[in-house]
Amino acid sequence: MFRFESPWAFLALLFPILIGAWRLWRKPRRPALRVATIAPLTILPHTWRMRLHWLPAALATLAWVLMTIALARPQLGQEQIKDVTQGIAIEMIVDRSGSMSAPMNYRRRSQNRLDTVKAVFQEFVFGDRASGLKGRHSDLLGVIAFAHYPYTVCPLTLDHDALKFALSRIELITEQSDENGTAVGDAVAMGVARLQDAERTLAAQTQKDASAYRLKSKVIILLTDGQDEGPHTRSIPEAAELAKKYGIKVYTIAIVTDEDRAPRGFFGMGGMSYDTTDIENLAKTTGGTFHTCDSADALLAIYREIDELERSEVESFRYVTHRELYLPFLGWGLVCLFAFLALRATIFRRLP
C-alpha cells in the first residue's frame, strides 16, 4: 500500500507556476529595441549554449518537484489486520529455578522441564494443528520468569514474534546459585501489576485511546514445580487476594513427575513431595483452575483446556507498518539543485 504522509506539501508545486504567471504579467508589452526585420539574425550559427539554454531552468524545476515529493514523505506500507477490541490479556509466569532442570520428554526427545514448558507455551501462542491448539494471535501476551525473585521477560505485547525471541532467552538458575529459590507470591503479584494496566499498554501500542478497548478477561498462567520458598515480599495468599481484587484469574500448573512423588500413608500411597495447597487455593480464590502434569502431553492437554475456556469474542486490531521512501527523491533533488547552481555560476552565467 503506497501513500504520502504529508500530501499538503504538493501545494509547493504551485509556487513556480505562480512565479511564472507573475513574470508573464510583468513582462513589458512594448519592445525594448525597434528593428525592421530579424531575418539577418536567423542566419547566425547556433552554439551548443544556445541549444541548451533550457537546461538550467529544467534542472531547477526538476529539483523543486523532487524535493516537494520528498517533503510529502512517500511511504510503502503493509497493512495487517489483527483487530482487538474485546480480547484477552494473558501473563505467563514460569519457574526457572534449579529444579526445572529435571528431564521431561517432548516429542520423543529428552530435554529439561524449562525447555519443554517454553516449547509448549509457543504452541499455545502460535497454534499447532497436531496439538489441537488454535493459537492466541489476537491476545495481549506477556511473560514473567522467577526463581529467588521475578523479572519481566517480555512486557504485554501484540508482537508475538518479539515474545518468542524473549522466551528463548529464559535461562535456568543452577541449584548452587544464590538466586535459586521459588518466589511464587512475588511473581504472581508482579503479574497482577502488569495486567492491571493492560488497557493502557494496548492503547500505547495501537496509538489510540484506552477507552476504545475492553479486555474480556485478564489471566495469569502460573507454572512451577515447587512450593513458595525463600524470602519474599508477598505470600501466595496475599497475591491471591490481590489478583481477586482486580478480577484476574490465575490458572496454576504444578509439574509433578515420578521423582516428585514420595510414599506416604500406612500403605505407602503415592503423595506429593511438596505441598501444592497454596497454589490450589490461589486458583480457587481467583476463579481459575489447578492442574498437575507429569509430561509434555499432559501439559498440552491443560493448555487445550485453558484455550477453550479463554477465547476472545471480537478479534479486530488493524495496524500498518510503513517504510519511508523520501530519501531517493531528496538525494536526486539536491543533485539537480547543485547542478543548476553550478551551471548558472559558470557556463550559463549571466553578465550584469
Q: What is the mean pLDDT of residues 289-296?
A: 90
Mean pLDDT, rounded, of the chain? 81
The residues, any chain, with a CB within 8 Å of residue 261's CB and separated by 6 or more, are 270, 271, 272, 273
Residue recorded with cell 505485547: 157
CA angle 21, 24, 28 (to 5 degrees): 155
Same domain, 303 and 244: yes
Question: CATH number of the domain that 292 lies in?
Answer: 3.40.50.410
Per-residue pLDDT band at 114 (split at 50, 70, 90): very high
Same domain, 204 and 55: no
pLDDT given for residue 231 in this prediction: 67
Same domain, 340 and 300: no
pTM: 0.61
Same domain, 149 and 268: yes
Same domain, 217 and 105: yes
Domain region containing 104 = 83-316
Same domain, 182 and 220: yes
Q: What is the mean pLDDT of residues 32-50?
A: 68
Amino acid at 13: L
pLDDT given for residue 28 in this prediction: 64
Please give the tally of structural domains in the chain.
2
Same domain, 68 and 154: no
Predicted confidence (pLDDT) at residue 267 exceeds the cutoff of 50: no
Per-residue pLDDT band at 35 (split at 50, 70, 90): low
Same domain, 190 and 333: no
Same domain, 90 and 215: yes
Q: Which of these ranges, 31-45, 112-126, 213-227, 248-262, has the smallest mean pLDDT? A: 31-45
Predicted confidence (pLDDT) at residue 263 exceeds the cutoff of 70: no
The predicted-structure confidence for 216-230, as pLDDT tens digits, reads as follows 789 999 999 877 776
Over pLDDT 70: what percentage of the chain? 79
Closest CA to 113 of 105, 121, 123: 105
Q: Quick check: is 115 in a domain?
A: yes
